[in-house]
Chains A and B, each alone.
Chain A
Amino acid sequence: MISRFQKFLFFAMLVACVGMAAFLIRLRNRAQDRLAAQAAAAPAEMAETATSAQKTVTLYVPNDLDDSLIAFDRNLSLPEDRNAQARVILAALVEAYRAPGSTHPMNVASGINELYFLPVRQAKDGAGNAEQMAVVDLSGALAAAQPSGIEPETLTLLSIMATLHANLPAVTQVHFLVDGQQRETLAGHADLTRTYLAGDEPNFQRSASIDPQEPGARPSALGRELPASGFQLPASRGGR
C-alpha cells in the first residue's frame, strides 16, 4: 500500500517536471525570437556598411593607335571592403574595353576572377601605410579575348596596373595569374612570370570626356607619334 507521503511526493515531482518543461519551452521560444530578430537586423546592417556614397575613380584605358593610356574619371558605388572595391574598379575597366568605340577593343564579359592583397614592406613609422602587392587573377576568357601582340598585351597590363595604383595607392606591385595558375605570357608576348612595379606616377593623356564610351579622345595616328606613356615597366625583376 502506498502511503500518503509517497503520493504527495509523486504529485509534487510531477508538477515540478511539467513546470520545468514549460519553462524550458518558454526559454527556447524566446531564444528563437532573439536569433530571428538578429538575423532580420543583419542584412540591413550589412547593406548599410557594404554600400557607401559614390566615389570618383580613375580608369586608365589603353589607346592602341598611339600606345598610350587615357585617363577617364567615373563615378562608381564602391563597397567599403578594399578587395571588393578593387574588383568593382577593374570590372569597370574591363567594361570600358568592351564598350562600343573602345580604343582597346576586347569582347569579354568577365575579366577578373579574384584579387588578393599581400603586404610588401612595412612603413618605417609603422603608421599602417605599408605597400601592397596585388595578385590579379585574370579570367581565361580575358586572356583568350586579348589581342595578341607586344603592344596590345603590354597596354592591357599597364592599364590594370595604372588603374589599381591610381585608386589604391598602397598597391605598388602587381602579379598576374590566369585562372589561378601561373602562365608564361598573356597572349603569346607579355611576360606574366614576373612581378611588375606599379608605383611610378603615370604621365598619361587625360581625356576631357568623362565617359570612356565617348569616342572623342581618339588621337590621330598620323605622322610622328611618340607614346604619351611615361609609365615605366619595372626596374627590378621581383618574383623571380
Chain B
Amino acid sequence: MRWTEIVGTLMFATMAAGAQQSPPPVRQLPQLPTVPTIPAPAPPPGVQPPRFLVVIDAAHGGNDIGARIGDGIQEKDVTLGLAGRLRSTLRARGVDVVMTRTADLNLAAANRAEDANHAQASACLTIHATATGSGVHLYTSSLTPAANERFLAWGTAQAAYVTQSMKLESEIDTALAHAAIPVTLGKASVAPMDSIACPEVAVELAPLVGGHVTSTKALTDVSYQKTVVDAVAAALDQWRSDWKP
C-alpha cells in the first residue's frame, strides 16, 4: 500500500469517529450585547504613580549667614531649625518631605533649584527669617504667569507655576489667619525662586509685634515658631487634599 493511501484512510477514520461523538446540533439563543470591558493598563515597569511631596529649602547656610537677627543669632541657623521642625510636623501628618540642606553647609541657589526640580514636588517652601516687620511675610515670584510647556527656561521656570504658587500662598495665609498670626503678602525677586518648577512660596518669619490680639514674641520663641509651623503644616495638608497630580 502506498503511503498516501494509508494517510487518507487514517483521516477518513478520524473524521468518521468525530461525527459519531459530537452531540446533535442545539438551537442557540441570541446573545444580548454586553459592555466591553477594557482591562486597566498596567503601569510600565519602573514608573511609580506621582506622590505628594514637599520640598523645604532652609535659606542661606555655610558662609552665607543671611540676616543677623541679634544677640549672635544668624538667619541661617533660624531657617535650618524652622525647616527641621516643619519637616517633623509634616512627616507626622504622613507627608513626604525633601530638604535641600540638613546641615550648615554652602549651597548655591542653582543647586537648591536643581534639587527641588529633580524631586518633582507638589509644593516648595523656602524658609527665611528677618528681624524687620511683624508676623510672617509670604512672597511669590514676581514673574508674569505663563503657560506650562514641556521645556521651561531655567531663569523663568516659575512663571508656569505662579498661579498655583499664589493659591498655595492663599492656603498658608488662611491657616496663619486662623492661628492669629499677622501676615503680609507680596511679590519678590529672590533666588532661587524663579528657577523652581513647582508651586513655590517664600515664608519669611519676623518677630511678633504686640497689639490688640497679639503679644510681643521674639523670632526665636519656641511657642511662636510652633504656632507658625503648625499653621503651615495644616495649610500643606489642605493643599494635599486639593492636589491633583
Contact = CB atoms under 8 A, between A and B. Distances in A.
Given A149-B133, A235-B144, A221 B182 contact: yes
A187 B66 CA distance: 8
Given A190-B189, A224-B183, A226-B184, A150 B202 contact: yes
A148 B177 contact: no
A190 B142 contact: no
A69 B129 CA distance: 21
A222 B214 contact: yes
Given A148-B67, A150-B128, A233 B189 contact: yes
B200 to A, nearest CB: 13
Interface of A: 64-67, 147-152, 154, 184-185, 187-191, 194, 196, 220-227, 229, 232-237, 240
A220 B213 CA distance: 11
A65 B212 CA distance: 15
Given A189-B190, A222-B213, A237-B156, A65 B134 contact: yes
B182 A190 contact: no
Given A150-B204, A233-B142, A220 B188 contact: no
Contacts of B51: none
Q: Which of B182, B188, B202, B209 has the most CB of A within 10 A?
A: B188
Contacts of B211: 220-223
Interface in B200-216: 202, 204, 206, 209, 211-214
Interface of B: 60, 64, 66-68, 75, 128-135, 137, 139, 142-144, 155-156, 177, 180, 182-191, 194, 202, 204, 206, 209, 211-214
Contacts of A152: 130, 132-133
Contact of A149 (B131, B144, B182, B212): B131
Contacts of A154: 139, 186, 188-189
A187 to B, nearest CB: 8
B9 to A, nearest CB: 91
Nearest to A235: B144
Q: Which of B142, B144, B189 has the most CB of A within 10 A?
A: B189
B66 A67 contact: no
A232 B142 CA distance: 7
A34 to B, nearest CB: 58
B213 A223 contact: yes
Contacts of B142: 232-235
Contact of A150 (B137, B183, B214): B137
A104 B51 CA distance: 44
A196 B188 CA distance: 11
B132 A151 contact: yes
A149 B143 contact: no
Contacts of A190: 188-190
Q: Which of A64, A149, A152, A154 has the most CB of B within 10 A?
A: A149
Contact of B132 (A149, A223, A233, A234): A149
A191 B139 CA distance: 14
A66 B130 contact: no
Contacts of A64: 132-133
Contacts of B185: 67, 226-227
